[in-house]
Amino acid sequence: MNNSLQQLKRIVAKTFRKAKRWYATYLACQIAVLVFAVVSIFAQLNPNLSALFAFLGVLATECFRWRSDWWKSEGESAKRKWEIVDGLGIAVDSRDVADWLAARPSGFLDDLTTDEIRGSEFDSGQPAGPLRVLENTQESAWWSKHLSRRMVVCLCALLLLVVIGAFAALTISIGELKAANLQRSGAVVQNVGGIICAVLMFVFSVNLIRLLADFAAFASIAEDILRRTADLKRPTVEERDALSLMHDYQTARNSAPLLPTFIWHLNGEHLREQWALFRPKGKQLNSP
């Protein structure tokens, strides 16, 4: 059983890594489509050829995003099982793990690092039971709240840069229009209009505004989960209440966007220090 338990943790780490890499590929493809659109405007490429390449690029990006969503779904499923196993101490069904791995290539989990596997573990020192489930949910929600808030800041900064870039292009075009003759002014307007449209299409195609709203909503839900966790601080916690809270959090996390790896690298050490102060090791959830 211990081997199946370790394999389940490794599956969680690998599936989320795959989901994030496919999503990064999706973003890279979207940027490539944007660059091609801008270049085609200035190079005056054949419209039919440009439209064909743009169509193929958009089709590829949707395939990449679908693949990312599929791996995220697999990761969430494995993570829910792991949280139940770790919280309640129930046995891992080795048949499910073996069946899942049998559908993957040999050595599918061999390239995982220690840090990736450690990311699936919890700090709770409680024995298996409702209180451990509650502490695990509290820990996961705490990290989600702070990392999601940082993603909101990053996305706001990115959106601001896009808006500034669009206004800068518009300002430059106005200056060129004043100095250009009538024939040249038409080409300037067409080029700038095409660039602004391409940038706006990129913003909406990668769901930049929606991502910002979704991360903000997830941070708010995680904060509410933490509040509800605090309300359940008492010597005896009913298993029903602990599982209900964990289910609500898992449901919100399942519909939330993926937290990119870079946000962990930028804030991991600082947040680990603050988490150690928030809930020192050995301190029970219901301690004063």
Query: What is the mean pLDDT of each successive set of 10 residues along the chain, which is 288 residues long?
Result: 82 94 89 74 65 75 91 94 91 89 90 81 87 93 95 91 73 62 55 63 71 94 94 80 94 93 89 88 54
Tell me how far apart the alpha carbons of residues 102 and 108 are, in angstroms, rounded to a whole number.
10
What is the C-alpha end-to-end distance of the chain, expressed in Å? 37
pLDDT at 258: 92
The structure's pTM equals: 0.83
- Which token pair is 182? 């009538």
Q: Which residue pairs, CB below 8 angstroms and at least 24 apart, start in 87-92? A: 87/128, 87/129, 87/132, 87/133, 87/136, 87/242, 87/246, 88/128, 88/129, 88/132, 88/133, 88/239, 89/127, 89/128, 89/129, 91/1, 92/1, 92/4, 92/5, 92/8
DSSP 235: S
Q: Please tell me whether residue 236 adopts helix, strand or coil conformation.
A: coil
139 Cβ partners below 8 Å, 6+ apart?
Answer: 122, 123, 124, 275, 279
DSSP 129: S
Tell me how far apart the alpha carbons of residues 91 and 85 are, in angstroms, rounded to a whole number.
7
pLDDT at 38: 66
Tally of CA atoms within 13 A in the half-sphere of 177 that contains its CB: 14
Backbone CA torsion sign across 142, 146, 152, 158: negative
**Residue-range domain boundaries for the chain:** 1-108, 127-280+284-288
pLDDT at 234: 66
- 255 to 92, 108, 133: CA distances (angstroms): 25, 26, 21
Residue type, 232: L
Provide the total of helices (H) and of strands (E) in the chain, helices listed first. Answer: 9, 0
pLDDT at 145: 96
